[in-house]
A and B are shown apart, each in its own frame.
Chain A
Amino acid sequence: DQQVKQNSPSLSVQEGRISILNCDYTNSMFDYFLWYKKYPAEGPTFLISISSIKDKNEDGRFTVFLNKSAKHLSLHIVPSQPGDSAVYFCAASAGSGGYQKVTFGTGTKLQVIP
């Protein structure tokens, strides 16, 4: 039962344009959603998160949008840069506090073309 889904395995975008990565979830009990970025041969690194009580969170070039009614979130990267080429994982957790289990999606490989 895949509770967090990333239906696009890959995405190619021109440098300077917007990258939009999508994520759907099924568990309405999720309280937090996170995005991680992963380069080859490295571990994932945290990018940005959003609480379920918000619909937008912004950090520099990265913005995450949450649509609770549609159980959908998206990560926008503007402008996209070649260094953004990586695999992006969407993740979610239920409950507050540091002991929540974190469930990951299958990942989307982003390629930013110079």
Chain B
Amino acid sequence: NAGVTQTPKFQVLKTGQSMTLQCAQDMNHEYMSWYRQDPGMGLRLIHYSVGAGITDQGEVPNGYNVSRSTTEDFPLRLLSAAPSQTSVYFCASSSAHRYGANVLTFGAGSRLTVL
């Protein structure tokens, strides 16, 4: 059981380039989300999805696009990378429960540097 898999682990981009961070989970989780981690800022929510075909914005969505065509995959797209997007990106998923906390399972992260 792989859990949440993120690729690539490391990426260096030039300003203006585009790229996609991949996220896949094999737990049949309905909920998937992307966070970025920056020093002194903690984990900030970029976008999230509650199921295939449904996405919504988090705290810091500007500069990022997402789509959810399958339950398993939730890619994060940077259309025109900027140095401010240098960060460590985490994908997380969870199963929906009628009651209780939303306990997220995280991937190992993707470290992105934009020059």
Contact = CB atoms under 8 A, between A and B. Distances in A.
Contacts of A105: 42
5 contacts: A9-B40, A42-B108, A96-B98, A99-B31, A104-B44
Interface in B1-30: 4, 30
Interface residues of B, number: 33
B42 to A, nearest CB: 4
Interface of A: 4, 6, 9, 32-34, 36, 41-46, 49, 51, 89, 91, 93, 96-107
Q: Which 10 A-B pairs have the closest CB atoms?
A: A98-B96, A43-B106, A32-B101, A106-B42, A104-B43, A49-B101, A100-B102, A98-B97, A104-B42, A99-B50
Contacts of A42: 108-109
A96 B99 contact: yes
Interface of B: 4, 30-31, 33, 35, 40-45, 48, 50, 58-59, 90, 92, 94-109
Contact of B99 (A41, A49, A97, A106): A97
